[in-house]
Amino acid sequence: MPRIKTRVLIIDDDPKVHELLQATLPSFEFITAQNGIEGIQKVTTDKPELVLLDIKMPGMSGLEVLEKLNKQPQRPEVVMISGHGDTDYVVQSIKLGAAEFITKPFQVKEVEIHLNKILEGVRLRSENRELKSEVAAQKGFTAFVGDSAPMQRVKAIIDQVADSELTVLIRGESGTGKEIVARSLHELSRRREKPFVKVNCAAIPRDLLEAELFGYEKGAFTGAHKQKQGRFEVADKGTMFLDEIGDMPLELQSKLLQVLEQQEFVRVGGVNNISVDVRIICATNRNLEAAIKEQQFRDDLFYRLNEITLFLPPLRDRSEDIPLLAAHFAEKYARQYEKDDSPLDKQTLERLMRFHWPGNVRQLENMIKQVVVRGDEQIVNELISAAAAGPRPTGIASLEDDPNEPPLDNTYSLKKRIARMTAREERRVIAEVLQKTNWNRRKAADLLEISYRSLLYKIKDYDLNATE
């Protein structure tokens, strides 16, 4: 439970300070210590957010107390209380890291302002720390697996551009590895020790996205009780990964363009420009060219983001990578769940290679995870059949989701729903073309612009037959 009142420890042999503050500043909880030793103890036991420390005390002086507190792994902020003529001590205490000093006799209002200012700083720093540790936790570097020709090209481009300041736009279907590529670009750049900050533009409500990215000033809107740093400030000197950039509202696109061009922006409700040094990487699986035509996406921003474009091919177009990926995930989950890491047999691998993976690498990863956890690779067949079928449409005409139908796997997961729609659409188009060509598979493959072999696999996986 967070404390309701901020706890302040007063270390002062003069009880009047305590009495005065306690009586006039009810929004704080004041506790006291009469001398340095007791004070140091109470810092540990009572965990105050802030310490008011008298410089002159009998026994241990305020400066000595401060030196001792500095030896602790963490200490609260310290405000020194000094009398007139203590200038030398004041200088020393600032050198020792005191946040402020107050001269006796003081005005209560003055104390209140100092306390609030320091606490605000403490809060901002702790928010920053939280963000940074979240960022570090996300970092856990993942191997980027794939040896097929398209993936070799992707890797070559990553190597060429990672350590440049170029803005990279990563495109590809859902689950193809866009995020893992963005992280690799960061890890291979000279910014690797600095934050990698990810913002998913589609996941944050559009009204909040501006404040999230650029921060806000106190009073900028209802509820903005204090100033807040935006993600761009957190990402300073590091990399900002703007995921699902195609979903960024038009109003914010011009502000982003300004960051790209001038490396500066204004917080919501602010007037001053804030400068940042951030490298930007974006990803999307939307058709940005179409969005530009529909005036949903600014073309000037598109050209600016698009200094380098990396296309990640869908998994079905690089099935050679499937055995490698499957082995990689099998090892990863065997380690994680302390299971045996026995290799998948040939038939299972062939089945995996034939499947069309509408959910791409993510779907493969999930499947292998289930195989490892359940310790039975036979379930691959089961899982693939279920994935291929989805709730199988009754005929080729049933294209749309039936709004009355319960959601797939009782989930509203957009990815799963879209994967199902993609599979249905794929099945529908193939069936239509097969009908049109009188089941001439070569002609159908030409029209579909896929290889003859992959058409045969799809016919099998989708269970298509001439009676449909």
- Identify which of residues 124 and 145 has a Cβ nearer to ligand ATP in the complex: 145
Strands 77-82 and 100-103: parallel
The stretch near ligand ATP (CB under 6 A) out of 56-64, 103-111, 144-152, 439-447 is 144-152
Alpha helices by DSSP H, 53-148: 62-70, 87-95, 108-139
Choose which of 178, 186, 191, 279 interacts with ligand ATP (CB under 6 A). 178
Asked if 184 touches ligand ATP (CB under 6 A), the answer is no
Choose which of 192, 255, 286, 362 interacts with ligand ATP (CB under 6 A). 362
* 326: nearest Cα among 364, 362, 363, 354: 364
- Taking the C-alpha atoms of residue 28 and residue 139, their distance in angstroms, rounded to an integer, is 39
Asked if 172 touches ligand ATP (CB under 6 A), the answer is yes
Q: What minimum distance in Å lies between the beta carbon of 179 and Mg ion?
A: 4
For residue 379 the two structure tokens come to 């379930």
For residue 190 the two structure tokens come to 């000279």
Choose which of 122, 145, 308, 418 interacts with ligand ATP (CB under 6 A). 145
- Identify which of residues 283 and 430 has a Cβ nearer to Mg ion in the complex: 283
Q: What minimum distance in Å lies between the beta carbon of 134 and Mg ion?
A: 17
Q: What minimum distance in Å lies between the beta carbon of 229 and Mg ion?
A: 24
Q: Which residue has the tokens 């503050």?
A: 21
- According to DSSP, the residues that pair with 264 across neighbouring strands are 275
- Helix (H) or strand (E) holding 33, with range, is strand 28-33
Chain-centre distance for alpha carbon 14: 50
8 Å CB contact between 364 and 325: yes
Asked if 155 touches ligand ATP (CB under 6 A), the answer is no
Alpha-carbon distances, residue 225 vs 50, 217, 218, 232, 392 (angstroms): 21, 9, 5, 20, 52
Q: Which does 177 bind (CB under 5 to 8 A by kind): ligand ATP, Mg ion, none?
A: ligand ATP
DSSP sequence for 303-355: HHHTTEEEEEPPGGGGTTHHHHHHHHHHHHHHHHTT---PPPPHHHHHHHHHS
Q: What minimum distance in Å lies between the beta carbon of 142 and ligand ATP?
A: 5
- Identify which of residues 82 and 285 has a Cβ nearer to Mg ion in the complex: 285
Asked if 319 touches ligand ATP (CB under 6 A), the answer is no
Asked if 148 touches ligand ATP (CB under 6 A), the answer is no
For residue 205 the two structure tokens come to 């409500």
The stretch near ligand ATP (CB under 6 A) out of 116-124, 167-175, 191-199, 441-449 is 167-175
- Identify which of residues 415 and 428 has a Cβ nearer to Mg ion in the complex: 415
Choose which of 352, 361, 368, 371 interacts with ligand ATP (CB under 6 A). 361
Q: Which does 324 bind (CB under 5 to 8 A by kind): Mg ion, ligand ATP, none?
A: none
Q: What minimum distance in Å lies between the beta carbon of 254 and Mg ion?
A: 25
Choose which of 174, 189, 239, 348 interacts with ligand ATP (CB under 6 A). 174
Q: Indicate the residue whose CB is closest to Mg ion.
A: 179
Q: Which does 447 bind (CB under 5 to 8 A by kind): ligand ATP, Mg ion, none?
A: none
Non-local (6+) Cβ contacts of 9 within 8 A are: 30, 31, 32, 33, 39, 42, 43, 46, 48, 50, 51, 52, 76
8 Å CB contact between 191 and 238: yes
Choose which of 35, 142, 167, 258 interacts with ligand ATP (CB under 6 A). 142
Q: Which does 365 bind (CB under 5 to 8 A by kind): Mg ion, ligand ATP, none?
A: ligand ATP
The footprint of ligand ATP on residues 373-432 (CB under 6 A) is: 415
Q: What minimum distance in Å lies between the beta carbon of 203 and Mg ion?
A: 10
> Which parts of this chain interact with Mg ion (CB under 5 A)?
178-179
State the angle between helix axes of 15-24 and 108-139 in degrees (0 to 180), rounded to the nearest 10: 80
- Taking the C-alpha atoms of residue 371 and residue 374, their distance in angstroms, rounded to an integer, is 5
8 Å CB contact between 334 and 344: no
Which residues are at the interface with ligand ATP (CB under 6 A)? 142-146, 172, 174-180, 285, 328, 361-362, 365, 415
